[in-house]
């Protein structure tokens, strides 16, 4: 949504509260706060001027041409006018933000509804064609021949290097193709419409999807689609989830409490094969500890599950709201670290780690009080009331769109968006630069520099939970069994 044509640059944040009820750049919201403060100051000085003038009970009788009181009264009146004007301006700014939010929300819902209708119609058309084909022996033969030809041409897998340019004239995928807000929105709509296409293919009436799908109650949608993918893949021996174990890696190290969103993003483990995926910090006293838990992103994209729990298998299982290996490993690590159900916890995660962090908060066994996610696929996982939740997304990060448009009617979570490459071009050779942890860390520092109330309020929540005294940090690594214990 933020682009060069919108007048937004790389540093501009778009802040939404409570499912896009209010949408504005952090600069606009901060400006409304400044005007509110100016109103308070002007009203205060006007009241002071009136109080000073009222110190003389005989002022009407003493009002002479050289009397300073008329000037004081005039200044008080001007200050009161300024206070009224500031109040009006601040109200107009907030109203503009709300109206923008309502308009954006309506436009996205209309787009989703239209896409769902078209997907259902396409599914119905394909169903009709298949029924026509399979009604004749010739149709069956043609379908078989077409399937074999597709398998012959596209049945082999190629490494990512196969799509890079070469001297012979190979294919090159531009980083801009996947780093584009328009493409991200299309993927988001497509992900939300897959279930509608399947419903049309199965002959389900459209009213069922409108009532129970993403555009309705949300009982069916991306999670059910992912569940279907898991079931089909496991029948082929793919995406096989299994038990996991988690163990500490190395000795505890000294840690200082995070002072903002930038610190949360900076401490998330990087997705590196064989390395720890979780960092757990402990602060406070022995009797009253508080904890910060950081969860890394996807490490392995192979559909065949291995000993790495942060893989494609866990990704799809998490979207399907199944017991993903990464989720189990985080729960095991938190319990092994000694986090009690009553201890306050702050969670932060990138990509798959953000999705897992939200699911840990919904697990309710732990006393999670704040969650910050960066580049996580959107999810309808319900965050318990009272949990301060900040969702950071880049509008040109296609990974966030995999979960569909589930945040349109979200809870009261704070959604912060930014187009990471609105002005600058992605570096050549990069595939998903807007999804990189480094890019989200840059956005986190921009969030910390913003004076906007909602953003500063979240930072205050985190610092209030963590305190100011140093603590200790321990890295944890999860391993899917059978694969032996976690490496020390």
pLDDT at position 351 over 90:
yes
Q: What share of the chain is helix, strand, coil (3-state, %, to 5)?
A: 50, 15, 35
Say how far apart CA 225 and CA 455 lie, in whole Å.
34
Q: Is the separation of the CB atoms in 303 and 257 below 8 Å?
A: no
Q: Which tokens is 42 given? A: 């002007």
- State residue 80's pLDDT score: 75
394 pLDDT band (50/70/90 cuts)?
A: very high
With contact defined as beta carbons under 8 Å apart, do 6 and 416 qualify? no
Radius of gyration of the chain (CA): 28
**What pLDDT shows up at residue 346?**
98
C-alpha 395, offset from chain centre? 10
- pLDDT category at 152 given cuts 50, 70, 90 is very low
Mean pLDDT of 350-371: 94
What are φ and ψ of residue 372, in 5° steps? -125, 125
Pick the more confident residue, 183 or 293.
293
Per-domain residue ranges for the chain?
Answer: 28-103, 244-480
pLDDT at 416 over 70: yes
Query: pLDDT tens digit string along 244-278?
Result: 999 999 999 999 999 999 999 999 999 999 999 99
Prediction pTM value: 0.69
Instruction: Say what the alpha-carbon torsion angle 301, 304, 306, 312 is, to the nearest 10 degrees.
Output: 30
Pairing assessment for the beta strands 367-374 and 388-394 based on DSSP bridges:
parallel
Q: Cis omega (within 30 of 0) on the bond before 339?
A: no
In the DSSP assignment, the letter for residue 426 is P
- More confident of the two residues 157 and 308: 308
- Cβ-proximal residues to 26 (8 Å cutoff; 6+ apart), any chain: 12, 13, 14, 15, 450, 451, 452, 455
Distance of CA 208 to the CA centre of its chain: 29
Best CA proximity match to 244, nearest among 321, 317, 316, 327: 327
What would the mean pLDDT of 155-176 be, rounded to a whole number? 45
* pLDDT at residue 19 in the model: 52
Please tell me which of 142-156, 258-272, 474-488 the model is most confident about, judged by mean pLDDT: 258-272
What is the spatial distance between Cα 449 and Cα 441, in angstroms, rounded to a whole number? 13
Q: Which residues, 6+ apart, have CB-to-CB distance to 50 below 8 Å?
A: 76
How far does the chain reach from its first CA to its final CA, in angstroms?
Answer: 45
Q: Is 239 left (phi over 0), alpha (psi -120 to 50) or beta?
A: left
pLDDT at 296: 97
CA distance 446 to 8: 14
- Name the residue with tokens 């149709």: 139
CB 175 within 8 A of CB 424: no
> How would you label 279-314 residue by residue, b for 16+ Cβ within 10 Å and e otherwise?
bbbbbbeeeebbbbbbbbbbbbeeeebebbbbbbbb
Tell whether the model's pLDDT for residue 108 goes beyond 70: no
């Amino acid at each position: 949504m933020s682009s060069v044509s919108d007048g937004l640059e790389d540093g501009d944040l778009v802040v939404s509260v409570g499912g896009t009820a209010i949408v504005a750049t952090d600069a606009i919201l901060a400006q409304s706060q400044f005007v509110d403060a100016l109103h308070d100051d002007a009203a205060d000085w006007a009241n002071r001027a009136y109080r000073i003038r009222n110190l003389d009970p005989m002022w009407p009788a003493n009002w002479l041409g050289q009397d300073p009181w008329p000037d004081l009264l005039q200044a008080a009146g001007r200050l009161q006018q300024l206070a009224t004007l500031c109040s009006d301006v601040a109200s107009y700014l907030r109203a503009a933000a709300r109206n923008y939010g309502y308009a954006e929300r309506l436009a996205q819902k209309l787009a989703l509804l239209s896409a769902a209708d078209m997907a259902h119609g396409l599914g119905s058309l394909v169903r009709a064609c298949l029924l026509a084909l399979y009604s004749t022996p010739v149709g069956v033969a043609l379908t078989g021949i077409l399937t074999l030809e597709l398998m012959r041409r596209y049945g082999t897998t190629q490494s990512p290097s196969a799509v890079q340019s070469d001297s012979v004239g190979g294919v090159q995928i531009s980083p801009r193709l996947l780093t584009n807000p328009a493409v991200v929105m299309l993927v988001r709509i497509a992900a939300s419409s897959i279930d509608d296409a399947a419903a049309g293919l199965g002959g389900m009436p459209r009213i069922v999807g409108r009532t129970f799908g993403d555009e309705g109650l949300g009982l069916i949608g991306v999670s059910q689609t992912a569940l279907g993918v898991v079931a089909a893949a496991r029948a082929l021996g793919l995406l096989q989830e299994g038990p996991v174990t988690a163990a500490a890696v190395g000795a505890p190290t000294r840690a200082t409490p995070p002072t903002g969103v930038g610190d949360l993003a900076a401490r998330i483990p990087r997705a590196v094969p064989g390395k720890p995926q979780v960092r757990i910090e402990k602060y406070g006293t022995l009797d009253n500890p508080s904890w910060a838990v950081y969860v890394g992103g996807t490490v392995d994209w192979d559909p065949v599950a291995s000993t790495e729990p942060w893989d494609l298998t866990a990704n799809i299982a998490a979207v399907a709201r199944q017991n993903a290996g990464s989720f189990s490993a985080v729960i095991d690590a938190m319990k092994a670290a000694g986090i009690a159900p009553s201890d306050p916890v702050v969670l932060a995660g990138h990509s798959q780690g953000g999705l897992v962090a939200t699911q840990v908060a919904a697990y309710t066994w732990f006393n999670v009080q704040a969650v910050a996610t960066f580049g996580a696929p959107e999810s309808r996982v319900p965050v318990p009331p009272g949990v301060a939740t900040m969702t950071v997304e880049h509008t040109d990060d296609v990974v966030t769109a995999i979960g569909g448009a589930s945040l349109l009617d979200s809870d009261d979570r704070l959604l912060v968006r930014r187009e990471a490459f609105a002005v600058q071009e992605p570096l050549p050779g990069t595939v998903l630069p807007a999804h990189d942890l480094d890019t989200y860390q840059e956005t986190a520092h921009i969030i910390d520099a913003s004076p906007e109330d909602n953003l500063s309020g979240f930072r205050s929540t985190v610092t209030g939970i963590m305190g100011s005294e140093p603590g200790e940090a321990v890295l944890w690594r999860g391993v899917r069994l059978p694969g032996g214990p976690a490496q020390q």
